[in-house]
Amino acid sequence: MKDLMRLFITFFKIGLFTFGGGYAMISLIERDVVVKRKWMTREDMMNIVTIAEATPGPISVNTATFVGTKVKGVLGAFFATLGLVLPSFFIIVAVSLVLNEVKDIKLVNYALRGIQACVVVLICNAFVKFFKAMEKSPIPIVLFIGAFAVSFFTGFNVIFIILIGAGFGLALTVINVVRSNKIKKKESAADKEGEDCGGDLENCENNGEKDASATEKTQSGVEEDTSCGDSAINEENAAEADGGDNRVSEGNVLISDNEEGGKEL
């Protein structure tokens, strides 16, 4: 309930102290809603003002309704709109009762002229703030200049200007979305290729390690076979040497036996 009362009081003060219509109120609404209360961002406020301008009804009332809806839903829209409308309602009723008596008073006319000058300042202030928040890419700037020139120098209906701007905005959004999707697809394909290449490199490294281990095993087997062959050859040589020694000893024994037989004879 406190938030609803804050909405009501905020828009009641704006409706009570703002002269010059809805465009003059935009700057004050932006100051209270965005800067002071921080109920929304400046970009959200720009979108709300754009929608309020494109929909039927006074821009200030539509803006209050949209802001209230964003802050506190349907009840927020009701309290914000009621707060903005009530001051104007009471002032108009009061002025209508004494209008005929005060319309010819010079002091009243001078006061109204001063109020008109202040209204121009408020509208220019709102223009400057929203222009600063606008995207500064070439296409929005061209649209801005074209819309201003058409509305200022011709009698072209503002509603159609808004609709044309909406069409351009939708077209640009679709183009940007398509481009971003293509870029994402290319990046994902490149990432997959990189992952595949990385997997292939890992497989190659694993295969290389396996081949290296197999080669080491083969070399060790060859060395074992070689050592076994060398040991076998050494054993054969040793056996032949032993056989030769045995033959020599047998020959020596025969010679000695012959010598002993000769002596006996």
Q: What is the distance between the alpha carbons of residues 263 and 265, in angstroms, rounded to a whole number?
A: 5
pLDDT 10s digits, 200-234: 555 555 555 655 565 555 555 545 444 444 444 45
For residues 95-123, give the mean pLDDT: 80
Q: How many CB atoms are located within 10 Å of the residue 85 CB?
A: 17
99-108, 112-121, 171-180, 227-236, range with the lowest pLDDT: 227-236
Tell me the pLDDT tens digit for each residue of 178-188: 988 888 888 88
**For the chain, what is the mean pLDDT?**
75
How far apart are the C-alpha atoms of 125 and 57, rounded to whole Å? 22
What's the mean pLDDT in 234-259?
Answer: 48
How much is the pTM?
A: 0.54
pLDDT at 174 over 50: yes
Task: Let me know the angle formed at the C-alpha of 254 by 253 and 257, rounded to the nearest 5 degrees.
Answer: 85
What does the pLDDT read at residue 248?
41
